[in-house]
């Protein structure tokens, strides 16, 4: 197929585009042209790259027509965050493409009552933040278009995406890379509550695998949503203990009620806000549907995915592991 990937040089696209090229697809990579992919791959030499600023093109009412102008059989939209953007793209592509795939998020569910959460779990609790609420609205719109009007859409929901080149969500539930450094150096790390809330990572290449499998299993994927995460979620405590063990340490952990934890001097307001959001969700998503219908099988566990990202940050000098 001829596949147009929107957001092609981001976290997921950096892995998805080479995957599609190696699988024999003709790929058009849409990006703003402001950054290189996160990883080098010779497959990019066979990709048609198009520079396009989505926000500016949408303001002019030209984005959907520009995507249609790439003559795609399928479109993978990795950077749609507004319901209006989804509607405009569907209107432009309606009846013109074989498949439209949208990147959602496991946060469409809000906090779960039963875990692991399945895709069809009743949405009794709304997502806590604007990001999750907008993604949930996009999913609802796209799947309704599939049911009512036959628009060939699929929605894939990643967890906390990790990989070399950017900071992974850490065992304290935020993005302060020194949490990894403190665990490596044998220093105290404070965790909120009892450290039993969960986070659910996924390697960017496994998300890319999910999109590839959805593209290549059209009849099973159209009109459906799928979780694409690692096989199992992590508790904050288990994650911290595993990271310390990478460096031959026993984790020196302190547990505090969240309000007290948030006052710790090593965590700034942004870190505290990120942790609160993550632990309030405590995602733990099932991948059984994607396994059964798409043959999705993640290559990385949560710990394997995060370790690869942490090792890259250490090598780049962004995490200090020396006492």
Confidence at residue 294, expressed as pLDDT on a 0 to 100 scale: 98
pLDDT mean across residues, the chain: 96
What pTM was computed for the model? 0.97
Which segments in the chain show pLDDT lower than 70? Answer: none
Question: Across-strand partners of 230?
Answer: none
Confidence at residue 251, expressed as pLDDT on a 0 to 100 scale: 98
| 171 DSSP assignment | T
Confidence at residue 10, expressed as pLDDT on a 0 to 100 scale: 96
Cα torsion angle, 318, 188, 246, 172, sign:
negative
Q: Is the Cβ–Cβ distance between 308 and 141 less than 8 Å?
A: no
Q: Is the Cβ–Cβ distance between 106 and 79 less than 8 Å?
A: no
List the domain boundaries for the chain.
2-161+201-228, 164-199+233-282+301-315
How is domain 2-161+201-228 classified at the CATH fold level? Rossmann fold (3.40.50)
Confidence at residue 34, expressed as pLDDT on a 0 to 100 scale: 79
Place of tokens 């102008």: 69
Query: Cα–chain-centroid distance for residue 194?
Result: 26
Domain made up of 164-199+233-282+301-315: CATH architecture: Alpha-Beta Complex (3.90)
Confidence at residue 112, expressed as pLDDT on a 0 to 100 scale: 84
Torsion on CA atoms 230, 232, 235, 240, rounded to nearest 10: -60
Q: What is the percentage of the chain residues whose pLDDT exceeds 70?
A: 100
pLDDT digits (tens, 9 = 90+) for 241-262: 999 999 999 999 999 999 999 9
């Amino acid at each position: 197929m001829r596949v147009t990937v929107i957001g092609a040089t981001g976290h997921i696209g950096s892995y998805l585009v080479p995957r599609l090229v190696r699988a024999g697809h003709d790929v058009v990579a849409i990006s703003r042209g402001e950054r290189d992919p996160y990883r080098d791959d010779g497959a990019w030499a066979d990709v048609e790259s198009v520079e396009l600023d989505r926000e500016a093109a949408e303001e002019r009412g030209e984005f959907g027509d520009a995507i249609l102008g790439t003559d795609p059989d399928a479109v993978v939209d990795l950077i749609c965050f507004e319901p209006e953007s989804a509607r405009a793209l569907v209107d432009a592509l309606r009846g013109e493409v074989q498949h439209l795939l949208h990147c959602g998020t496991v946060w469409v569910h809000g906090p779960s009552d039963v875990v692991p959460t399945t895709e069809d779990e009743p949405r009794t609790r709304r997502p806590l933040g604007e990001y999750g609420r907008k993604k949930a609205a996009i999913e609802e719109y796209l799947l309704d278009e599939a049911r009512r009007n036959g628009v060939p859409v699929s929605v894939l929901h990643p967890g906390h995406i990790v990989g070399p080149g950017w900071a992974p969500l850490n065992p304290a539930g935020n993005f302060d890379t020194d949490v990894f450094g403190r665990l490596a150096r044998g220093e105290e790390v404070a965790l909120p509550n009892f450290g039993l809330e969960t986070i659910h990572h996924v390697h960017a290449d496994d998300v890319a695998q999910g999109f590839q499998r959805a593209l290549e299993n059209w009849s099973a994927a159209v009109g459906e949503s799928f979780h694409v995460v690692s096989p199992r979620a992590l508790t904050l405590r288990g994650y911290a203990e595993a990271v310390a063990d990478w460096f031959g340490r026993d984790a020196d952990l302190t547990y505090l009620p969240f309000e007290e934890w948030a006052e710790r001097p090593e965590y700034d307001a942004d870190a505290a806000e990120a942790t609160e959001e993550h632990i309030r969700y405590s995602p733990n998503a099932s991948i059984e549907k994607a396994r059964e219908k798409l043959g999705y099988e993640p290559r990385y566990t949560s710990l394997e995915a995060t370790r690869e990202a942490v090792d890259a940050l250490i090598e780049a000098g962004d995490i200090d592991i020396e006492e």
